[in-house]
Amino acid sequence: MDEIKERFERLIRQLKRQFNKNKKTKNKSKNKNRKHPQPGLKKKRPRPTEQVEPKSEKPRVRPRPKEEIVGISKPINKKRKKRKLTKEEVERLRKKKRQDSIIEIIKFMLPVVVFAIFVFFFILNTSPHMVDGDSMKPTLLNGDRVIVRRTKEPRRYEIITFKPPVKSEFQYVKRVIGMPGDLVWTEGSDLFINHQAESLPKVSELSAASELPDGTIKVNLSEDSLDQMSKLKKIPKGHYFVLGDNRNNSSDSRTFGLVDGLAIEGVVSFRFAPFNNVGWIK
């Protein structure tokens, strides 16, 4: 009985082995059929429109080590509080602003001044002159600097500069009162000038102020000037009778007589100094 059992168990083992071998061979044949396609069948190539774009792989970013991440500090955006300026600092800022504004004004005015000087001295044929004395107060003061036009002929009541007929280191500045052709006559030490009358008044009318022709000017002369003017009936051509605006403190034609036109430098037209009194002269 024992031998029969052993044989039966051997047969079962052999059958199991045989069954397992058959399974393995079937699986292998299936895999071979999948890998190797049947002959005669061709794979279809994809059309150009159907070409599949290769998938772009994203670059892998390696994480930084913890030590580096810990070492980086983010910038802290904190608004700084404005410090209040002291009085001294405020004054310094104001002075700086004033200096900058003055420099800007100078930069702007410098070319204008240079151009004006060029025009006055070269185009208009002018020259500078400094007033000496108080004979032209209040029109011109001592130390005023003026521009004289040398090419302009003087007119009545204009201010001129000239070389006086007396010894002097400076040129005089006076106002023209008598022009060439004006009627003149004397009575005692007084001189009468009239540019409106066509003839001299009668002798009986000379002393009466109410009978004098309109526009008559009366001045008192020195002996030298009286000696010259008493011989004339009209101011001769090219000569002028001048007076200072400050009659009580002026040496003019009342002292030295008529001024020759050749001695006249020009007509005062503009005052350029001092700066607080710049302007045209009338």
What are the tens digits of pLDDT across the range 8-29?
A: 778 788 777 777 776 666 666 6
Which H helix or E strand runs over 67? Answer: helix 66-71
Question: Is 24 considered catalytic here?
Answer: no
Q: Could you confirm whether 174 is annotated as catalytic?
A: yes
- Report residue 281 as tokens: 């002269």
Task: Write down the pTM of the prediction.
Answer: 0.57
- Per-residue confidence (pLDDT) for residue 37, from 0 to 100: 52
Selected catalytic residue, list 58, 174, 222, 282: 174
What tens digit of pLDDT does each residue of 112-153 get?
Answer: 888 777 766 665 677 888 999 999 999 999 999 998 988 678
Cα dihedral angle (116, 121, 125, 128), rounded to 10 degrees? 110
Distances (CA, A) of 2 to 6, 7, 9, 50, 201: 6, 9, 11, 74, 195
Catalytic residue selected from 5, 135, 230, 237: 135
Helices (H) and strands (E) in the chain — how many of each? 5, 11
Separation CA 51–CA 168 (nearest Å): 115
